[in-house]
Structure 1
Amino acid sequence: MKIVKVSGKTIEEAVASAVTELDAKTKDHIDYKVIEEPKKGFLGLLGNRSALIEAQRKPDPAEEADRFLRAVIEDMGVPIQVAKEETRDRKVMFQLYGEDPGIVIGRHGKTLDSLQYLVQLAANRYADKHITIAIDAGNYRERRRETLKQLAENLASKAERTGGKVELEPMPPQERKIIHAALQRSRRIKTYSDGTEPRRYVVIAPV
């Protein structure tokens, strides 16, 4: 991390110079400490001393997330490329590309979910306000969403036909939400979650 020492007639002037030198957006994007306070000399002329500060840019959560994700993928030794997109609602989206994205997706997206969880932790170590990290590979998220919706409809028909409840396999919270949302308008079927994390699952049952 680049650290600079900057002087100015006042602390505010030194801080403004540090913002420029560190190529930061505003003073809120830097950390600084005052090394020397400004001092006026005799009659405001002799012995004047400028303010001196030491400053560095605050780590940017999105940049830290990007750096962490690339390092993990490099350690995995897989030929995957990373593209980052930031949105205005404090969300950072990463798209992973490669000839075999299945390596970073894993069974039912478990590897992808683990990556997303770790990158989220890495990013929010440096965030003043919580930011959301989303990672996708080979459009897996959308394909999985459609698969879960179809699964929900099929199992809802089974529960209605047999008159008994149907238990799905354990799923992460975001996938359980897809099942619940897909069937929430049904008047003949109800859904609820049961079990404890990480083995929590959805139950589909007739009303």
Structure 2
Amino acid sequence: MREVIVTGKTVEEATEKACLELGLPREEVSIEILEMPTRKLFKSTPAKVKATADEAEAPAVEEKPAPQPVKAEAKKEAPKAPEKKPEAPKAEPAPVKEEAPAEEAAQDTPITEAHQAKLDAAVAYLKTVFAAMGAGEVAVTTQKQGEACIIRVEGDDVGMLIGHRGETMESLSYLASLVANRLPGEYIKLGLDVAGYRGKREKDLEALARRMGAKVARTGRSWAMDPMNPYERRIIHSTISGMEGVRSESKGEGADRRVVIYPTDPQAATAFERERRGERRGRGGRGGRGGKG
């Protein structure tokens, strides 16, 4: 089960933010209103909601009914191959060639008409915003990458669309997702990639996660990373999940939400402290004797 606590000016805005952070449509998210928005003379309090999503429900989105008949046929044909030893080498590659296109088709599903209509609305909105920001001539293309639809932007003067550590790009991506998913139809995951920044940022974050994860595993001390958006936090969590001796959690709310890396070996901190105490005693002993002399 995954939970996030999100704030917004209204309950609806907080709910939309929570669904985007979980990467799930509104129907698959349970919303609990923690605080209603209030407005006083000199101070206003935002709405606060808790969104809950069951982990068990996420895999249900996978659509892989087609590959099952192919695998079933492969199993039936497999016993026939050993009957004729000379033909066995020819029979082995056949199932591999049949299964590979099925897996690729599951990963690179063509964009449906309903999804294309939402993408067109998002692209039209972004082009209007780009022009207002003074980005000049830009080339915009769309691509299906796994379960997400990526809008790629290229141009001579698109640096302003990225912003500090990609913050402007992620904000534009969030707004474009709101525009797209207001249209009727199935919810789509939408991402924005300006001048290939997304791929570069992913590599940098993966390297950072591996470096900090190794440090936590060695010292036994937890490490809180800088605040990150949901997309960046997912990269950190994914990288840490593949490492031994560490785990990660998201802490904080809103713009201050960050990833904290914890050690899973309780003995690591003790060993590290012993090592450091030994080093300090060694340096202090030499300094003390030198001072007395």
Indicate the TM-score class for this superposition, using the shorter chain for normalisation. Answer: 0.5 to 0.7
Which residue of the partner structure matches residue 239 of structure 2? 182
Q: Report how far residue 163 of structure 1 moved.
A: 2.2
Describe how 1:4-153 pairs up with structure 2 within 5 A.
Answer: 60-87=117-144, 91-153=148-210
Distance 1:118 1:188 in 2: 38
Which ranges of structure 1 fall in alignment gaps of 5 or more residues? 1-27, 30-58
Q: Is the 2:139–2:155 contact (alpha carbons within 8 Å) kept by the matching residues of 1?
A: no
Which ranges of structure 2 fall in alignment gaps of 5 or more residues? 1-112, 265-293
In the alignment, structure 1 residue 164 sits paired with structure 2 residue 221: yes
Q: Whose helix proportion is higher, 1 or 2?
A: 2
Q: 1:80 to 1:206 in 2, by over 3 A?
A: farther
Distance 2:233 2:147 in 1: 24
CA-to-aligned-CA distance 1:81-122 (integer Å, 9 cap, x gap): 132225497854221112233211011110000111111111
Number of residues of Structure 1 aligned to a counterpart in Structure 2: 151
Q: 1:146 to 1:62 in 2, by over 3 A?
A: same
Residue 191 of structure 1 aligns to a residue in which SS?
A: strand
Supply the AA of the counterpart residue of 1:200: R
Q: 1:135 to 1:77 in 2, by over 3 A?
A: same
Distance 2:179 2:140 in 1: 17
Which residue of the partner structure matches residue 195 of structure 1? 252
CA-to-aligned-CA distance 1:153-197 (integer Å, 9 cap, x gap): 111122223321111011111211111111213231121111112
Residue 60 of structure 1 aligns to a residue in which SS?
A: helix
Q: Whose strand proportion is higher, 1 or 2?
A: 1
CA-to-aligned-CA distance 1:9-64 (integer Å, 9 cap, x gap): xxxxxxxxxxxxxxxxxxx99xxxxxxxxxxxxxxxxxxxxxxxxxxxxx932221
Structure with bigger RCO (C-alpha 8 Å, 6+ apart): 1
Distance 1:90 1:176 in 2: 18
Q: 1:97 to 1:165 in 2, by over 3 A?
A: same
Deviating runs (4+, > 6 A) in structure 1?
none
Q: 1:92 to 1:190 in 2, by over 3 A?
A: closer
Distance 2:216 2:167 in 1: 27
Distance 1:90 1:141 in 2: 16
Supply the AA of the counterpart residue of 1:126: L
Distance 1:109 1:193 in 2: 20
Q: Is the 1:73–1:80 contact (alpha carbons within 8 Å) kept by the matching residues of 2?
A: no
Supply the AA of the counterpart residue of 1:120: S
